[in-house]
Amino acid sequence: DVRFPVQYVIRPHSGDWHDYRGYAGTVAGGVIKAGDEIMVLPSGFTSTVAAVETADGPVDEAFGPMTVTLRLTDEIDVRRGDMICRPHNHPTVGQDIDAMVCWMSETGSIAEGNKLVIKHTTRTARALVKGVQYRLDINSLHRDDSAHTLSLNEIGRIRLRTTVPLFYDEYRRNRTTGSFILIDEATNNTVAAGMILGPAT
């Protein structure tokens, strides 16, 4: 499953490279090589990989966790935060997700109605906690369905809605596209780490 979150769009302004356009990032899954057909999310535009380049020059192929720059055969609109993948094997696109999170803040707890920043691959968005479904006892693996908050070092299942669509896989399939962190808007501190279970049900 090719997963390539775009981190930077490279457009040198030198006259020697006036027509150069590359998309830099870290391979999050699969193998990418010149000649591969790709799709860009969220636009759905398709193209073909013209070259795979590193700081040391072109390479035959790239795989995780290599940092590379991709050049495409077509000039299509690609931006930071977009996802390059295979046309017929792309991640889930959605704004409502179920996830397991570990709460890491001493100063508060996570509960329904909380508004946080979510950082997922190269995308950053705001997220609303739609609900805490249960707290997990890590010793007995018992699910406490009566729990509606998570405090320091507690793990539980929550439902999130994000302001922009995320391009994700279940954590069990891809640890990079299936994980995220939550950040407190006021302090900019990381308050939780999460694993995506799938679309909210």
CA–CA distance, 51 with 167 (Å, rounded to integer): 24
Prediction pTM value: 0.92
175-187 pLDDT, tens digit each: 999 999 999 999 9
Q: What is the pLDDT of residue 139?
A: 87
User: What's the average pLDDT block by block, 10 residues per block, for the chain (201 residues)?
Assistant: 95 68 96 98 97 94 96 94 96 98 95 97 97 93 94 97 97 97 96 98 82
Q: Would you state the structure tokens that stand for residue 164, as one six-digit string?
A: 């922009």
19-32 pLDDT, tens digit each: 788 999 999 999 99
* Of 15, 72, 65, residue with least CA distance to 46: 72
Q: What is the pLDDT of residue 13?
A: 63
Per DSSP, 57 falls in state E
Q: What count of other Cβ atoms lies within 10 Å of the Cβ of residue 82? A: 24
CA–CA distance, 50 with 159 (Å, rounded to integer): 40
Q: What is the pLDDT of residue 12?
A: 72
Q: What is the pLDDT of residue 18?
A: 65
Q: What is the mean pLDDT of the chain?
A: 95
Q: What is the pLDDT of residue 133?
A: 96
Q: Are 129 and 159 in contact (CB under 8 A)?
A: yes
